[in-house]
Amino acid sequence: MGFLTRPRADPARQALIASLNSRIRAVLGLGEDDGLSLSEIVCADPACPGTETVVLVMRVGCLTEALKIAKPLAEVGEADIAALACG
């Protein structure tokens, strides 16, 4: 009988996500009760940049807001994070 195993998370990627999460939370002024989700997706639409980072912001008492950064997680920089506050 075979067992399905969950692939191990890449520690470097997990550290990157934790760092981005912390920096984005600070820039957006999110509180402890607010949620934040980071995802990297490949967009099949030819108008898309290919791989992009989607930031879901879930503020208490507000509708979920989806913010996009037109690059992979590993390429997200300080200017990209600062631009989220302007959106």
Boundaries of every domain in the chain = 11-84
Residue-level pLDDT at 81: 95
Contacts of 25 (CB under 8 A, 6+ apart): 34, 36
CB 26 within 8 A of CB 15: no
32-87 pLDDT, tens digit each: 999 999 999 998 888 877 899 999 999 999 999 999 999 999 999 999 999 998 86
Give me the phi and psi of 58, to 5 degrees please: -120, 90
Taking the C-alpha atoms of residue 73 and residue 25, their distance in angstroms, rounded to an integer, is: 16
Strand (E) or helix (H) holding 49 = none
pTM summary value: 0.82
26, containing H or E segment: helix 11-28
